[in-house]
Copies of this chain bind each other. A is one copy, B any other.
Amino acid sequence: MPKLPMTLALVGATGEVGRAALDALDQLDLPVKALRPFASPRSAGELVEFQGDDLRVAPLADGAFRGCDVALFCAGAEVAREWAPRAWAEGCAVVDVSPAFRADGEVPLVVAELNAEAIAAFRARGVVATPGPTATAVALALAPLRAAGIERVVVSTYEPASGAGRAGVAELEREARDLLGLKEPDPAARFPHRLAFNLIPQVGAFGEGGATDEEEGIARDARRVLGAPELRLTATAVRVPVFYGEAVAVNVTTREKLGVQEARELLRTAPGVKIVDTPGEGIYPMPMLAANEDAVLVGRLREDRSQARGLDLFLVVENTRKGAATNALQIARVLAEQHL
């Protein structure tokens, strides 16, 4: 019995991804009969707009999820670890955009266009996790190219401040204002160093091999959503002084030769992908083009002449939308339609 229209809880409603979810809800035409916005005690009491109504944001508390069909967790990993099991105990399925459950083999990790069938396994923990923006973008762009067999992938990321939430956005803005006012900015708090007019080759924490958890996570999550446990992928993740929109330079080695025209045809009909690739006219993916965009923009498609069978491409994904909120909402729809 489809649970549609559904009652939707939105955890982290005042954050970057929560706000993107509210925007996307208006545009995705998802049947929601009631929305319950939650946030940290600090943000509780704020108002958010949904379908023309101002809703007051509540703090999380026992019983918060009773009567809800699906909870979108758009908060951090700590909130998800604490509250997702409680939501499920109260009968509400969870879609979590944080890294909390991405490595948990009992929790399906899903990009709606790629492996929606995995959602069925959500009952083990009551949670479906979504990959981060990089893995989502890379997986959506690689999926159609699997026709040629994917041997190896080299990824470099250009990750925006909003990937670290509203505090990240505020820190970049404050630093940029200070520097342009010839004032030394206050020490960085959200990022390890000053981000304005700088680049930081650290997203997340370093692991033993010298890679960050973000870099390891891109490979792990792309493997999971593509159902390709042997996929060979290495990544360098860099924070750049951009507010919204993440870019990824991707180099792919295929098993069979794949021409640029053939790759373009495969990508053209792929769900969740939009080709933006008329470089001679200055048309290629850029963060400034990605606002409100629910597809991965793919461009700069060209043959990699350094190898016999390779392609270079450049992706941009709105990290708060398809990289998080939109995908989570698409999963929520499948949960409500097919599984609740």
A interface list, Cβ under 8 A from B: 152-154, 156, 158, 173, 176-177, 180, 192-194, 197-202, 206, 209-211, 219, 232-234, 236, 238, 240-243, 245, 247, 249, 251, 260, 279-280, 282, 284-288, 299-307, 310, 312, 314, 316
Contact = CB atoms under 8 A, between A and B. Distances in A.
A2 to B, nearest CB: 41
Q: Count this chain's copies in the assembly.
A: 2
Nearest to A173: B180
Contacts of A199: 158, 240, 242, 245, 247, 286-287, 316
Contacts of A210: 260, 279, 300-303
A58 to B, nearest CB: 32
A209 B306 contact: no
A236 B260 contact: no
Given A180-B177, A279-B210, A303-B210, A154 B232 contact: no
A242 B198 contact: yes
28 contacts: A152-B306, A152-B307, A153-B306, A154-B251, A158-B199, A173-B180, A193-B282, A197-B241, A197-B242, A197-B243, A197-B288, A199-B242, A199-B245, A199-B286, A200-B286, A201-B286, A201-B299, A209-B302, A209-B303, A210-B260, A210-B301, A210-B303, A211-B302, A233-B306, A234-B251, A234-B307, A238-B249, A251-B251
Nearest to A302: B210
A209 B242 contact: no
Nearest to A192: B282
- 5 nearest interchain CB pairs? A210-B302, A156-B156, A232-B306, A234-B306, A156-B249
A300 B200 CA distance: 11
B284 A209 contact: no
Most interface-central of A199, A202, A206, A210 (chain B CB within 10 A) = A199
Contact of A198 (B177, B286, B300, B301): B286
A162 B116 CA distance: 46
B249 A284 contact: no
A186 to B, nearest CB: 15
A193 B306 contact: no
Contacts of A316: 199
A234 B305 contact: yes
Contacts of A236: 156, 249, 251, 300, 312, 314
